[in-house]
Each structure stands twice: as structure tokens, then as C-alpha cells.
Amino acid sequence: MKVFATLALALTGISMTAAIAQESPTYQDDRSSATALIQSLYNAIDRKEYLRAWSYYASNTVASAEDEAAKADYETFKKGYANTEFVTLLTGEETEEGAAGSTYYKLPVAIDAVDGAGKHTQFIGCYTLRLAQPTVQDAPPYQPLHIESGELKPANGELEAILPKTCE
């Protein structure tokens, strides 16, 4: 979960001195492609639906409600977005590679996060997503397309100019 740690550190501690008028976006929860899933992730963040955003990560989809470590991780994740008003996301071309019953996707992204005071902070990086082929899954719980990892780092500039061309 390096992506959220990086974004959370950059946005934590910023006092909310002004509210930004931003209409709540329409609900989007789509796991049909890597791009759609990452768009859904940031849709959940924009809507302040942090548990839904959290659920897009593989390690968080099967955590027990009684798991204290998972609860602490979730609270840290949630606090990391407390001052985020909205995020503008730009995605690059997703790539895919098959491996032993799974498909792995790489997706380059550029993000502009805006806090309550109107400050813009940009990040660039890549997400790695995995889909275990549905036809080989035959025991609960079902594992849909999910985020395996995200690596974001601070950047500056227009999203189109700083978007990575590919993921390494």
C-alpha cells in the first residue's frame, strides 16, 4: 500500500481553512478493467467512501472484521485522505501479462489531489492489478480484479506532461 502511504503523508497535517465547492461525483464501482478499477478507487475517495476505496486492494478484501491490525491499517488509510477534497486522475495505456491462471495489469497514472484549502499536489506512478481467472476459482471467497500494489511519488506539472509512458 505504498501509494496511499505516500499520498497520505503528503496530505496529512494540512489544515482545512476553506471548503472547495465540488459536487459529489456519480457512484462508480467497476472492476471490468484495470483502468475502470482505478477510476472507481478515486471515485470512492472523491465521495469519501473510504471503506470502498480500501476494498479494492487485495490484502483488504478478505480481512476479518475482528482483525485488529486490519482495522488499524484502515484507520490510517482513512485519515490519510481526511483533507482530500477531490482527485483528478489521468491514466495511461494499461498493459497485461498472463501467468499461471492469472492476468496481471500495469497502469501508469498521474494524479492531482486537491485539499480543503485548495492546494494542488501531483503524484505519478503505476498500479499493478491482478485477476485470478474466474473459471479457475471454485472456492469462496471469490477474488475479483484487485490492486496488488501501487507506487506513487510526488511530481509537479500538468498531468498530461508528467504521466509516465509505461510501467517498468
**According to the model, what pLDDT value does residue 134 have?**
87
What are the b/e assignments for 23-58, b being 16+ CB within 10 Å? eeeeeeeeeebbbbbbbbbbbbbbbeebebbbbbbb
Q: What is the pTM of this model?
A: 0.81
At 39, list the grid cell.
477510476
Largest distance between two CA atoms of the chain: 51
Q: Chunked in runs of 10, what are the mean pLDDT values of the chain (168 residues)?
A: 41 36 82 97 96 86 60 87 94 93 96 96 97 87 90 96 95
Alpha carbon distance 31, 41 (integer Å): 10
**According to the model, what pLDDT value does residue 19 have?**
39
**According to the model, what pLDDT value does residue 73 have?**
86
Q: Give the CA distances from residue 38 to residues 15, 20, 163, in Å, rounded to whole numbers and listed in that order.
A: 27, 23, 15
C-alpha distance across the termini of the chain, in Å:
18
User: Three-state secondary structure along 64-119?
Assistant: CCCCHHHHHHHHHHHHHCCCEEEEEEEECCCEEEEECCEEEEEEEEEEEEEECCCC
Determine contact, residues 129/109, Cβ cutoff 8 Å. no
